[in-house]
Structure 1
Amino acid sequence: MNTDKVVDLAEAIAAHVHSGDTVALEGFSHLIPFAAGHEIIRQGITDLTFCRMTPDLICDMMLAAGCVSKLVCSFFASGSAGSLYEVRRRLEHHDPEPLEVEEYSHHAMVLRYHAGAARLPFMPIRSFAGSDIPSINPNIKLVADPYTGGTTYVVPPLNPDVTIIHAQRADTRGNAQIWGITGVQQEAVYAAERAIVVVEEIVAPEVIRADPNRTLIPAHAVDAVCVVPQGAHPSYVQGSYDRDCAFYREWTPISKDPQRLQEWLDDHVRNTADHAEYLDVLGRDRMAGLAVGSRPSGSVDYGRRLLGTELAAAEAGEHAAARTSDAAGPADRTEGTGGAAGTPATTTTDGGQA
């Protein structure tokens, strides 16, 4: 069976994102799937219900491009840079037309994804007590608590037609690894009918297996994997490139002016063939200025099952001594005893793997 899910981003969007869909683009602070949002714009997909915690610049762009008819979001802001002026025009002045909005808190959005992933009918939440948000969102309901006789707010499940996330790496099957701030990507993927994972690089399965705890998105939940280096710009990818803070500041005057915003979309998105061409228009020197230095994480020893002569040695207490020797430094031995995750195994005389 062919388990290779790597496809071009344009092919993945065409196959899995359709006009009228409910689409979640998640990634918190970093790993925001901007390249995927731009490709939705290029393909002229419309009438989307756009779901996202902190909708930020990608929401402003997709809304201005005519892709979005409804927002399901929390905390409307462009990171630390200010307002989303396309969103404000729609909400405050109905310019060029009104925008339907379903607003929640961050915590409520997380719980909605949790409920969606677990296929639950609702999720209780206490933090809306004293808040004005339930008065503007009828989907937040106050119900009787069957255990205490009191009341609690509940929120409905969120089940997108498709969730799109960005990650540092994946194998060709779709096992995707994330480190740094993780946000709600895992829940949003499990809650969706389809999932697209955009990554900085494809790595060998051995790399994924060497550090399994970083695999937040397993292959069985993924429909397509797309390799798009620097595809989260202007947000950052922990360990790959920094946040383009200047871009966020530059966005304010762009989004304030509807004509300038449309010109920006034409120059950087609609008239570019793909993300690589977007980066060319943006300026490769700009991306070079966002480079980060190396700072590897510490390694851990996951351990492995002992076989053959190793097991006999362990019963005699020799294996523990060998592990202590490993920790102190390298030693000349004919049989390997394991080490840091990812270290190739050696073969023992009885055919077992060390």
Structure 2
Amino acid sequence: MKGYVFHGPGQSAWEGVPDPGLKEPTDAIVRVDAVSVCGTDLHILAGDVPEVPPGTVLGHEAVGEIVETGSDVRTVRPGDRVLVSCITACGRCRHCRAGRYGQCRGGGGWILGHLVDGTQAEYVRVPYADLSVHPLPGTIGDEDAVLLADVFPTAYEVGVQLGCVCPGDTVVVVGAGPVGLAAIITARLFAPERVVAVDASAARLESARELGADAVAEADEDPGQLVADLTDGAGADVVIEAVGRPETFELCTRMVGAGGHVANVGVHGGPATLHLEDLWSKNVTLTTGLVDTRSTPTLLRMAVAGRLPGGRLITHTFPLDRMQEAYDVFGNAAETGALKVVLGGERREVVPAYEV
């Protein structure tokens, strides 16, 4: 088969690799029908995730069909259409038992496309399949479902839930890429007073408006002043960092108000300054996190019911064998306008479970 292989910082290729086989009785082999490229993949290629060994097939988000299962797999069988989660969970260690699947100590966590071969290939081996894949109903399309592998759970869990978004809050989302836009969508589920989006791209800010932002600010237009004006100087209740740069993290800490929350979602490849000289007396809570994907079943039900406009985040689609082109488009989003790129896939009409 073929897969997209990391050979070291700045070096990668779509090339022939060995077909995956079952290694443990809890494994499943999935034929990949749709896969996406994540900002974390770009961080790997930039050398920001040094533990990824050269020769690894990248990718941690996919939709596909089960073609083989180990003898201990109970919840899926060959022929089932499934979502492959970005997080693998053994289900037995202390962290998994507490729902912290991202911190799994039993051989799981974020391993696909990181410590073992990932999903950007024609087939993928998924360890601990019973907890790491989710059967999909026929009413949700491949391209919409693949966003539930990482983008929506990450935005919802690490941004909205850890940020403790509450009714009446002022929520600021810094970074209007796919995860930031998903944070806007899911933050609105909690009835905040307003959601403010900050980004350097006018096109992404327009997308943010379309998906529910009440106000937008370009990064070079003093967004802190806008937030101060909107809140009578009190600052934001919740600020979600969805970029992963020192300057955006520090901007978040300047915009948060007393008693507020800063939820860092972005992947940082270098240090950022924490200005405790300004924050120590403000009762501010700072959270970081790797997604656990415990919310995936809930988000899947919402998507089937038509409550998550996930497909609107997809701007480019490609056949699976045009992986390098997809990376080029996604990696040059400022020029291409890319939000989320999906390879393979089939759109299906989502039939809402009920009408409002």
TM-score, normalised via structure 1 length: 0.28
Q: Decide which structure has greater strand share.
A: 2
Q: Decide which structure has greater helix share.
A: 1
- Structure with greater Cα Rg: 1
